[in-house]
Amino acid sequence: MDRFEQMRVFASVVEAGGFTRAMPRAGMSRAAVSKHVLQLEERLGVRLLNRTTRQVGMTEAGRIFYEQCRRILDEVASAEQGAAQISGEPHGELRVVAPTNFALTYLGDAITEFLLAYHDLKIDLSLNDRAVDPIDGGYDLAIRVINSALPDSASLAATRLTTSSRILCASPAYLLEHGTPRQPQELSKHQCLSYSYVDDPRSWRLKGKGQEKGKEHVVSVSGRIITSAGQVLSTAAAAGLGIAYGPTVFFQDAIARGKVVQVLPDYDLPQVSIYAIYPVSRHRSPKVTAFTGFMQKFFAGKL
């Protein structure tokens, strides 16, 4: 009997293009999705969706109703945010999904400070390394590490929280035994420890700085480790297993202790950007704005 829920679920089905595909977006089982649409159709007395077993299409009434639905749902969100904004303090629960590494490395401190700054906010943090769609997953906000370009989307907005640099490291002992590379090309003769979250973990791109400024080198490398676990890279490098390529943060500690040293410091590795991705409908959501703003300030100080 919940009219709002019926409209939301119906819109989900239309946008997802099917009942099953609408499950995550609607946040309920197929049966419930079906039930909602059925109830809505019964109440209106019109068939809104033409279901052939493999494809869902809209009827004429469905098309008309969907347009209005979409607009009304947006207006409700906007109205609620408008009213909520007046309260000053953001509040409620913020559902965030972030990559495991990023979360374990930074979000512990970041979220702690964030929660101390905003007493009326709760956080539900999910870890997921896939490129989760915040709409489908029902999240307010997804954190993504973007290697190259940000994919365009009409329904998603993004804010860059920070950038992350990567470096090459190896243990002094390893370099003593196998020699310290001076040119990118020499890397191909080394044991190379790769980080999974790179465009191509077997093909490293280095860009010269200093005298060789701007020149880009692409080196095919080989090695016995490809991992998404940053600490494993760091440990392996410290143990002398080879030259590791990974996010700077994972090596800072080992470098400070002298366990590893940076290799080829005259070359830059591609920077990656950390983005907060959220549904455009939450563009001005106080919760999301507070989070992204806080994180930008937080990382501006740290990195």
Point out which residues bind DNA (CB under 7 A): 1-2, 5, 18-21, 27-39, 51-54, 56
Residue 89: contacted member of DNA, a second copy, none (CB under 5 to 8 Å, by partner type) = a second copy
Residue 129: how many other CB atoms lie within 10 Å: 16
Q: Is the backbone of residue 3 left (phi > 0), alpha (psi -120 to 50) or beta?
A: alpha
- State which residue, 42 or 109, has the beta carbon closest to DNA: 42
Report the nearest approach of a second copy to the CB of residue 71 (Å).
7
The DSSP 8-state label assigned to residue 186 in this structure reads G
- Kindly state whether residue 179 participates in binding a second copy, applying the rule CB under 8 A: no
Q: Which residues between 64 and 123 bind a second copy (CB under 8 A)?
A: 64-65, 68-69, 71-72, 75-76, 78-80, 82-84, 86-87, 89, 91-92, 120
Report the nearest approach of DNA to the CB of residue 86 (Å).
18
Tokens matching residue 86: 């007046």
Q: Amino acid letter at 251?
A: F
Report the nearest approach of DNA to the CB of residue 12 (Å).
11
Distance CA 34, CA 20 (A): 9
Tokens matching residue 107: 């979000």
Residue 123: how many other CB atoms lie within 10 Å: 17
Residue 64: contacted member of a second copy, DNA, none (CB under 5 to 8 Å, by partner type) = a second copy
Report the nearest approach of DNA to the CB of residue 137 (Å).
14
Task: Check: CB of residue 22 under 8 Å from CB of residue 13.
Answer: yes
Q: How far apart are the first and last CA of the chain?
A: 51
Which residues here bind a second copy, judged by CB under 8 A?
A: 1-5, 7, 43-46, 48, 60-62, 64-65, 68-69, 71-72, 75-76, 78-80, 82-84, 86-87, 89, 91-92, 120
